[in-house]
Amino acid sequence: MSALEEAIRNVSDFPKPGIEFKDISLLLSDSVVFRETIDRFRDYHLNDKIDMVVGIEARGFVFGPALAYALGAGFCMARKPGKLPYEVYRQEYDLEYGTDALELHIDAFSSGQRVLLMDDLLATGGSMGALVSLVRRHFDVEIVGVDFLIELSFLKGRERLKGLPVCSLVEY
């Protein structure tokens, strides 16, 4: 087991019974492991010429800016409804019980930019699938790939990402 895997704590029955939550608090508090995490993502994308990293609220905000800095790229926030102060494009998506949405500022990207989408966890692919749809529908950019710290492969979230390159550092 790698140091990265060891720094991810399993918490049973959180936030509700039957859920095995992947807690990244230990990873974030260990400067060596956190640096290794960002370095692994950076090395994976070293030759991709990424202009912008997009992080999904909230834990995509932890890894996205650090990776953007390491790649010499900008960072863009994909936020929950009502959190961005300017005009937005919005994409709704289904949850187990109800719906949610992600929003991006209408001027989030320049035409032709190469963007990388990022979140901490790939489960069913609902939120990332919504972000992919939002970006493809409203912006003239190239999605270079999608990155996750953790992938729960048994939930088959990759299938919702429409053939995009996926980088996940830890798989369960």
Catalytic residue IDs: 59, 96
Q: Are 70 and 44 in contact (CB under 8 A)?
A: no
| Pairing of the two strands 52-56 and 114-122 | parallel
Helix and strand element counts for the chain (H, E): 5, 9
Strand, helix or coil for residue 98: strand
Q: Are 126 and 144 in contact (CB under 8 A)?
A: no
Orientation angle between helical segments 31-44 and 60-71, nearest 10 degrees: 60
